[in-house]
Chains A and B, each alone.
Chain A
Amino acid sequence: MERNMILTRANVRRAKGQTAAIVVLILIAAAMLNLWLMLALDYKANFVRCHDRLNAEDVMLALGVGGDEAEEFLAQTLEHDARTDEYYMDNVRYMPGSFPYNGGDITTPLIFLEKEAACARPVGRVEIVEESGQGEGIYMPILYKSDDIAVGKTVTLSIGDHPATYTVRGFFNSVMAGSHNCAMCEILLTKDCYDDLKESGYALDATLVPVRLKDRGDCEKYEAELKSAASEHFSGAQAAGNSYALIAQSRYISQMICAGIISAMAFFVLLIALVVIASNIINYIQENMKNLGALKALGYVGAQMIAALLFQFAGIALIVAAAGAGLSYLLFPSINAMMNAQVGIPYEIHFLPLPFVLTVAVVGAAVSLCVFFSARRIKRVEPIVALRQGTRTHSFRKNHVPLAQTKAPVHLALALKTTLSGIKQNVTVAVTMLVLSLVVVFSGLMLENVIFDITPFLDMIAGEVTDSCINVNAEAEEEFVREMEGDSRVEKAYLYHSQSSEVRHVDGVALAAIISDDFADVNNQSVVFEGRFPKYDNEVAVAAKYAREENLGIGDEIALTADGREARYLICGFTQISNNLGKDCLLTRAGYERMGELANVSYYLNLADGTDVEAFNEEMGERFAGDVNMTINVEAVVSGTVSVYVALMTMIVVAVLALSAVVIAFVLYLLVRTLIGNKKRDYGILKALGYTTGQLVLQTALSFMPAVVVFTVVGMLVCSAIINPLTALFLNGIGIVKCTFRIPVLFNVLAGAGLVAFAFAAACLMSLRIRKIAPRALLAEE
């Protein structure tokens, strides 16, 4: 042990700079690794804990029918189902509606509950997380706490078509209905407000049923069957439902993306640290061949020397990884704040032993393996050969770029010699540039498709986007369509009706059905990415994710039910719309009518530029008073929903680009430092021969450029080719199986050139250390 300590101290003293660099890299890698593990292992587990603490439901159904008949029917259905563990039934108010948030509108089925009852209900209760004073008002889900929605401020809700203004009294946490991702959104009212709403008749008398199951794994099927049974019994009634599986996934999409990016960066930084350690050890062996020979001659064995290196690096790695894991707790609050704004379930930061142990173990093991494999050659060193610097004298290398034959200018030729003789240097540069290319291509993709122009992202995530959506009763449809056709402000009006609660795949779960007369009219023709839209009444396009899970292919026949009737359809295409997390289907109106009738229909309207959508909707509401059930300013809804994604993506892109700049500068610093250390003698000789510092700096920087340029180009090309499938892999959880994002070629070319230029500038800057090398240092060697 003491012998190992002596060798370890000597090694650390020998390469203080590199040791410091390794420490910094491991610190960053461990911090990111621990952050990722905390997000991956505990952040989502917080959902489960919260779910259990509030005895939250596994399945929730809001049925737009109240009263004894509904309650009796639902009670009978639930009690006859052996999978039911416990349930509670609540009389609530229910109406699709919207409220302003983040510069746009959130539109979702709104469930209004009386505050005290909601907090006291035995199944699926909510908890108040913030409240102030007494008085009338509403409590909003904590997710929506913002500058505009704050305690004491007022918020105007659109309940159906009726605006209602309330004072915000506080915020609550509801696991299963606390965000727009939950298929419904609960809003709590003080008793007075609730009674007023009840009297106003703005919202439907409804029944809310939170159900806990004996086996949570049944939740999706249970929900589908319950909704189907309710729809069948109360034909035409509005209903919204969700399940544990759906909510657990949908509320954590941002967390999944963020955790994925952090994990990729963590492993990248760890990889760089391992490359630096390996290069440090290989250099150590080369430089200390004589010392190693002397130690072996004194009786040390190879294993002892390897153990000393292991002791040194693994010791540093374990201590620094522990410190890095600690550092991650300083970073976690800002990540938590960002995630809370996406997830909406409060998370209390606390020490997590498992991620800590895993971080330290992974870093320790990776470093130990790297040291062992890099230091193995020490075992083969023979004392006598080492003492004679045997490995050097017998190193017969190829004379790359012979100066007598090359046409390249002398500085370039000398740089190429360094390039071609530095395999380790090139491998490190290659890994760095490939990873950074991926980061740049991803950033370009997000800039082009999310930040600068959100349309492609919306096309994929939101499905269909237009200006206005108006839902009218079926009886008024003909007149409404005629009106729209004659209105100069309406460029296009087409049926795009989402029947979210009634269509069910006989062998599977409920599918949100989107119904249109002619899908050739829809704006987003990329919703069906394989096959085609349904044209005939016996065709259906189904979500690709669901089709994969159920092993369904184009040409297969499936049975769907709605309104208690069953019909068979041929699958003609695959869709991907994230709204229903990969559980949806497209049907023609004629196709749907083989099962049921549409009581009301939603029309999407493309309006002429400059049309005030809000005013237009209001006007239509008045003109078709009594027949318009709901109007949606789709543009405002979309911008409200996507603004959080744009903000998140902007933050991620800025962070990864900044981190990339730091990483590239750091990697080049290490490489240049190692190169200069190894070539100090050569630089001294060249300076003695008359090379200036500037010429040597140029040569050094140029020596990195072939690998930088080649692997940046390769990286950009490969990453541009794989970025869409890779992004699809990331987004698979929300039902996306194929991404067709635009690849910004010009941005990629410019970013690639920028990456190379930055690398060159950084290499030049780092190489300025050469000016410290004086030819007179050669004297000192003599």
Chain B
Amino acid sequence: MIQVENLGHRYGDKTSLKDISFNIAAGEKTVLLGSNGCGKSTLLKILDGLVTPSEGTCRYDGEPVTPGRIKQGPLRARFRREVALLFQNPDVMLFNPTVHDEIAFGPRQFGLSDIDARVRHWANLVGVESFLERPPFTLSGGEKQKVALAALLASEPKLLLLDEPAAALDPRTTGWLVDFLAELPITTLTTTHNLSLAPELGRRALVLDEAHRLVYDGAIEPFLADIDALIAANLVHSHRHRHGGVEHRHFHSHDWQ
């Protein structure tokens, strides 16, 4: 479904991605792990055709993905519908007067039928059916995230890219999101630096290190068990803490051991 080859990206003189290659097959649930500023968001934006890579290529169903190609190339008619990106801050993506219009936006934009029934269907699934008439920005952070998710899914994408979807959620909503995504029968690529969530969000891990390179590609559990790899990717921390009466420091994560 997605083929990424020797992808690189620079913002001015700052490198944000370097020599990244991987493929994603339809149906896979993949987690993109990396510390802050390692280029995760940029990679998602390149995959979504919003940012042009400086080097290498990214293909969707064999067709190169760049902002220009999506407007004119063979992907024009379907890319925006089939690939959806959930931004980290839902405020930037909610722009309709009511939650109803927000969810209806995609289906209307892409000319689908049964708009109202679709809206009700997705609103029920994410549990925002009681706010349909309210403006999205009057909702709480978790509700906004749910509305944004419903709005994207209403266009029935084939690939869903999620940028730190749980970063601003409380534990209960996070639990809900993990279950919801697990049951979603489409391809997903989710970024996170939360190791406790990572194995729940996908079976395969792609890991970026602080040099903006891909350092691991494979099943997630072995990676999470490899403390050296975790240290190298800056995904665990070390600080003073207690085990019974003993106080010492060692590398660990609070969420996954």
Partners in one complex: no
Q: Could you tell me which B residues sit within 8 Å of A by CB distance? A: none
Q: Could you tell me which A residues sit within 8 Å of B by CB distance? A: none
